[in-house]
Amino acid sequence: MAEKVPPSAIDVEESILGGIMIDPGAISRVSDTLTPDAFYISAHQIIYTCALRLFHCGKPTDLLSVTSWLIDNELLEKIGGRNKLATLLESTVAATNIDALAQIIIDKYTRRRLISVGYRIVELGHEQETQIESIVDRSEQKLFEVSNSQFRRNTEHNSAISTTAYEQLLNIKPIYPTGYRDLDDLMSGFDPGTLTILGGRSSMGKSFISCNLAYMMMKKNNLPVVIFSLEMSKLQLEYRFWSLISATQDKESNIVPVNTGRIQKHRSKDDPLDEFELENIKNISSVASSLPLFINDSRDMSVAKIASECRQIIANAGSLGLVVVDYVQMMAEDSGGNRSYELGDVARGLYKIAGELDFPILALSQISRGVENRPDKRPLMSDLSQSGILETVADNILLAYRDEYYNPDSTERGRLELRLAKARHGEIGTVKFLFDTFYGVLKDLV
Asked if residue 315 has pLDDT above 90, the reply is no
Model confidence band, residue 123 (pLDDT cutoffs 50, 70, 90)? confident
| Mean pLDDT score, 257-286 | 82
Amino acid occupying residue 380:
L
Report whether pLDDT(1) > 50.
no
Report pLDDT for 161.
65
**Complete DSSP assignment for 271-331:** S---HHHHHHHHHHHHHHHTS-EEEE--TT--HHHHHHHHHHHHHHHS--SEEEEE-GGGT
> Taking each helix axis from N to C terminus, what angle separates 98-125 and 10-22, rounded to the nearest 10 degrees?
140
pLDDT in tens, 96-116: 788 889 889 988 988 888 888
pLDDT of residue 149: 52
Q: What is the pLDDT of residue 232?
A: 83
Q: Which of the pair, 334 or 285, is modelled with greater confidence?
A: 285
For residues 233, 236, 242 and 244, what is the CA-based torsion angle, rounded to 10 degrees?
-100
Beta bridge partners of 415: 434
Nearest to 364 by CA among 320, 397, 393, 401: 397
Interatomic CA distance for residues 322 and 209, integer angstroms? 14
Among the ranges given (35-44, 261-270, 273-282), the one the predictor scored with the smallest mean pLDDT? 261-270
> pLDDT by residue (tens digit) across 127-174?
887 778 777 777 777 777 676 654 444 556 666 667 666 766 666 667
Is a pLDDT exceeding 90 seen at residue 323? yes
> Is residue 325 very low, low, confident or very high in pLDDT (cuts 50, 70, 90)?
very high
Fold match, 10-168 / 181-444: no
Domains of the chain, residue spans = 10-168, 181-444
Which has the minimum average pLDDT: 139-143, 265-269, 273-277, 292-296?
A: 139-143
Say whether domain 181-444 belongs to CATH 2.40.260.10.
no
Which pLDDT score, from 0 to 100, does residue 239 have?
86
* Residue 168 pLDDT: 63
Read off φ and ψ for residue 59, nearest 5 degrees: -105, 160
Closest residue by Cα to residue 392 from 348, 338, 331, 428: 348
The predicted structure's pLDDT at residue 201:
82
Question: Kindly report the CA angle at 397 between 392 and 402, in degrees rounded to 5?
Answer: 145
Residue 367: Cβ within 10 Å count: 23
Least confident of 77-86, 174-183, 384-393: 384-393
**Beta carbons of 434 and 444 less than 8 angstroms apart:** yes
User: pLDDT value at position 164?
Assistant: 66
Q: Which pLDDT score, from 0 to 100, does residue 152 have?
A: 47
Rounded to the nearest 10 degrees, how much is the dihedral formed by the CA atoms of 184, 189, 194, 199?
Answer: 50
By residue count, the chain amounts to 446
pLDDT in tens, 353-367: 888 888 999 999 888
pLDDT level of residue 217 (50, 70, 90 thresholds): very high
Angle between helices 260-267 and 234-248 (to 10 degrees): 130
**Average pLDDT for residues 435-446, to the nearest whole number?**
86
3-state secondary structure 200-223: ECCCCCHHHHHHHHHHHHHHHHCC
What is the average pLDDT across 27-38? 84
Strands lying side by side in the sheet with 361-366: 293-296, 225-229, 322-326, 361-366, 195-200, 396-401, 415-423, 429-436, 441-444
204 — phi, psi (to 5°)? Answer: -85, -15
Give the CATH H-level superfamily of domain 10-168: DNAb Helicase; Chain A (1.10.860.10)
Is a pLDDT exceeding 80 seen at residue 48?
yes
